Amino acid sequence: MPPGGVQLQVVELEKVKVEHVSKSFTRSDGRGKTPVLQDVSFTVNDGEIASIIGPTGCGKSTLLRIIAGIASPDSGKITVGGKEVVSSANPASAIVFQAFNLLPWRTAQKNIEFGLEAKGLPPAEREKAAQHFIDLVGLKGYEKYHPHELSGGMQQRVGLARALAIEPEVILLDEPFSSVDMLTRESLQHEVLNILMETKKTAVFVTHNIDEAIFLSNRILSLGGKPATIREVFEVDLPYPRNDEVMVSQKALRLKLDLKKALLSSPHAQSEDPGAA
Amino acid sequence: MLSYKWIVRIISVVAFVVLWQLIGQAVDTTLFSTPILVASSFANLVTQTSFPTDLLTTIRDFAIGFTIAAVLGISVGIAMARWRTMEVALDPYVSALYSTPYVALAPLFVIWLGIGIYEQLVVVILSSVFVILLNTFAGVNNMNKSYVETGRAFGFSGFKLYRKVVVPGALPYIMTGLRLGIGRGFVGMIVAELLVRLDRLGFLMVYYSELLEVAPGLAIAVTLGLLGLLMTEALKKVETRLAPWRSSATGG
Ligand SMILES: Nc1ncnc2c1ncn2[C@@H]1O[C@H](COP(=O)(O)OP(=O)(O)OP(=O)(O)O)[C@@H](O)[C@H]1O
Ligand SMILES: [Mg+2]
């Protein structure tokens, strides 16, 4: 952990820029379109750790996919690291999927090496990098296991290691700690935060968990509505590391309440759309 | 170390052979033959007929034909899944040709190509290529969408995406196609031998059967059966290596 009382080293430089992004999905029964995102705009500066919170089904994963370049918006523009995101070939960012998305024919280690293969790294270097991140996420001894032989939490950590391994400028994390127990969760949060701060990476987390958002990020975006848009932005003016003392400070508790209100005031996406998951 | 599976298999084979021997002796050795008679005619076949060279030619022709069918079926199957135009253009032919019994056309192949390796290759290829193609096509189309999404997200595209993601993802289906293709191709080839070419193992088998020489006929049939078994087992081994997440369920 960095010494107490530190802040993120944020450079006033827009690392991720989302401008007027809208997205709707054609319904599978062909009866029109469901708008999911409506005119979403925000920026994340270099070195910032931003969190997106919002009720289930409001479009958080969709937004992250669009930023990663694997889904295209109906309108609007995404810029990552100064370059417009047009297709998936966007090595500046890496994504940790909510559903892990491991490749079942690869071992844990080979899954972690996956992104490095695309970069054309020689095998010896790939192995070395993979080993480092296997240790980091606590999967030593499971290198040769296939995903179906790993627990959900282990698979999630493989997905996390795979994204970290390519050392992207921007890392997009979709509820990356959702499937592990509380203690593992806390230690992973610390580890990931350490990496992000030491390497001055830019990160966008998606989370349901208000405490997690406060613990990790310096800015929290509340996504909500139907179709969803950015409703509120909260600056998290708390020093890192956010130990228990910081987390129960007056400021932190105030913020927690505000965030809770923001979440509650957002109409629940599922109430209107029974198909939402 | 023998696994449970192999112990059961060996016992079952031994029991079958013993039972056959007893029944054959008790009822009629000329009509039903016995394992001992079959074994001795096998020895005769090997030492005194063209059986060994025929067997090798059959294996060679099949291996060449099946390799061509596999390469063709897999690549065209992938191409059809990749390009909608390809699919629309080729689909009617594939659907129509899929269910054509090519052996029935073997006389035509002989007229066009003469009796030789080419007409056999054509029978093997046509008998097996479509089932491989259709399975590959289905494999790519039914593949979990998240694989390709993941490949793209981590910077794969074009040919590399196919090599690293699409082909391994579709492998369980491709393997099924290959397995079915082996069966169809092999049967097609043997039937062409016995119906049209009137030579090699297929013909030899019918020849002995019609002379009521049951033992050599059965010796050939058993050889062909073992050959089929061998190929299927080899393919299963490959599948266990390449697609361990699928075969794990069956304990392969
Ligand atoms: N590929 C798709 N096709 C059609 N509709 C989709 C698709 N992906 C998402 N949706 C719809 O878009 C909406 C938002 O989905 P999304 O996965 O982005 O939600 P989310 O905020 O990540 O939810 P959660 O918190 O539960 O993960 C949902 O109503 C969902 O039904
Ligand atoms: Mg989601």
Q: Which atom of ligand 1 is nearest to the CA of A63?
A: 18
Model confidence pLDDT, tens digit, residues A59-93: 999 999 999 988 899 999 999 988 888 876 666 88
Mutate to test the pocket of ligand 1, among A37, A56, A58, A231 (most ligand atoms within 8 A of CB): A58
Residue B239: partners with Cβ closer than 8 Å, 6 or more residues away? B171, B172, B175, B246, B247, B252
Instruction: Find the mean pLDDT for residues B186-214.
Output: 86
Q: What is the CA radius of gyration of chain A?
A: 19
**pLDDT at A116 (0 to 100):** 94
What is the pLDDT averaged over residues A37-62? 92
**Dist CA B35 CA B15 (whole Å):** 12
Ligand 1: residue whose CA is nearest its atom 4: A25
Q: Are A54 and A40 in contact (CB under 8 A)?
A: no
Between β-strands A229-235 and A49-53, what pairing exists: parallel, antiparallel or unpaired? unpaired
For A147-158, what is the mean pLDDT? 91
Confidence class for position A18, pLDDT limits 50, 70, 90: very high
Instruction: Residue A181: count other Cβ atoms within 10 Å of its Cβ.
Output: 9
A256 near B CB under 8 A: no
Q: Which CB contacts under 8 angstroms, 24+ apart, belong to B41-47?
A: B41/B213, B41/B215, B41/B216, B41/B219, B42/B216, B42/B219, B42/B222, B42/B223, B44/B216, B45/B216, B45/B219, B45/B220
State which residue of chain B sits closest to A116, comparing Cα positions. Answer: B154
Question: What's the gap in Å between A22 CA and the centre of ligand 1?
Answer: 14
β-sheet with A75-80: strand ranges across: A33-46, A11-26, A75-80, A83-84
Domain boundaries, chain B: 50-246
Ligand 1: which atom is nearest the Cα of residue A65?
A: 18
Report the residue of chain B nearest A71, measured CA to CA.
Answer: B149
How does pLDDT run across B2-11, given as a tens digit for each residue? 788 889 989 9
Nearest-Cα residue of chain A relative to residue B241 = A105
In chain A, pLDDT over 70 holds for what percent of residues? 92
Instruction: Please indicate whether residue A207, judged by its CB atom, sits closer than 6 Å to ligand 1.
Output: no
Count of CA atoms in the C-beta half-sphere (13 A) of A87:
7
Q: What single string gives the DSSP state of each residue in A106-156?
A: S-HHHHHHHHHHHTT--HHHHHHHHHHHHHHTT-TT-TT--GGGS-HHHHH
**Chain A: nearest CA to B83, how far in angstroms?**
19
Which stretch of A180-194, A206-220, B11-25, B162-176 has the lowest confidence by average pLDDT? A180-194
Residue A9 has pLDDT above 80, yes or no: no
Report residue B70 as tokens: 């596999």
Burial class (CB in 10 A: 0-12, 13-18, 19+), A188: buried
For residue A87, the chain B residues in CB contact (below 8 A) are 157
* Ligand 1 atom at shortest distance from the alpha carbon of A273: 29
Total-model pTM: 0.83
pLDDT over 80 at A30, yes or no? no
Pairs of CB atoms within 8 A across A/B = 62
Q: Is the CB of A67 under 6 A from ligand 1?
A: no
Shortest alpha-carbon distance between residue A129 and chain B (Å) = 16
Burial class (CB in 10 A: 0-12, 13-18, 19+), B86: middle
SS3 content of chain B, % helix, strand, coil (to 5): 90, 0, 10
Residue A89 pLDDT: 62
Contact residues, chain A, for B149 at CB < 8 Å: 70, 101
CB neighbour list of residue B73: distance below 8 Å, 6 or more residues apart: B128, B129, B130, B131, B132, B133, B136, B177, B181
**For an interface test with A, which of B154, B242, B250 has the most A Cβ atoms less than 10 Å from its Cβ?**
B154
Asked if A83 reaches chain B (Cβ–Cβ under 8 Å), the answer is: no
Minimum mean pLDDT among A4-8, A22-26, B21-25: which range?
Answer: A4-8
The residues with which A85 forms a beta bridge, in sequence order, are none
- Tell the CATH topology of B50-246: MetI-like fold (1.10.3720)
Residue B192's closest CA among B96, B131, B127, B132?
B127
Q: What is the tens place of the pLDDT at every residue in A86-127?
A: 876 666 889 999 999 999 999 999 999 999 999 889 999 999
| Secondary element (H or E) of residue A191 | helix A182-198
What Cα–Cα distance (Å) separates residue A96 from each residue in A115, B154, B202? 12, 10, 58
Q: Please report where in the chains the tokens 């390799």 appear, as a residue.
A: B67
- A45: three-class secondary structure by DSSP: strand
**A181, pLDDT greater than 50:** yes
- Whether A68 sits inside 8 A of B169 (CB atoms) is no
- Residue of minimum CA distance from atom 11 in ligand 1: A276
Q: Which of A67, A71, A86 is nearest to A17 (CA)?
A: A67
Mutate to test the pocket of ligand 1, among A21, A61, A263, A272 (most ligand atoms within 8 A of CB): A61
Would you state the pLDDT for residue B33?
Answer: 87
Decide: helix, strand or coil at residue A219: strand
Q: Does B152 reach chain A within 8 Å, measured CB to CB?
A: yes
- The per-residue pLDDT for B210 is 86
CB-based contact A101 B164, cutoff 8 Å:
no
* Ligand 1 centroid from CA A114, angstroms: 26
Q: What is the pLDDT of residue A125?
A: 93
ipTM score for this prediction? 0.85
Residue A116's identity, in one-letter code, is L
| Average pLDDT taken over every residue of chain A | 87
* pLDDT greater than 70 at residue B126: yes
**pLDDT for res A4:** 53
Tell me, yes or no, if A210 comes closer than 8 A to chain B by beta carbon.
no
The answer for A 4-63 residues in CB contact with B (under 8 A) is none
B82-116 tens-digit pLDDT? 898 888 888 888 888 888 878 778 888 888 888 88
Q: Is the pLDDT of residue B156 over 60?
A: yes
Residue of A nearest to B171 (CA): A105
> Which residue from B minimizes the CA distance to A69?
B153
Taking the Cβ of residue B164 and every Cβ of chain A, the question of whether any pair is shorter than 8 Å is answered with yes
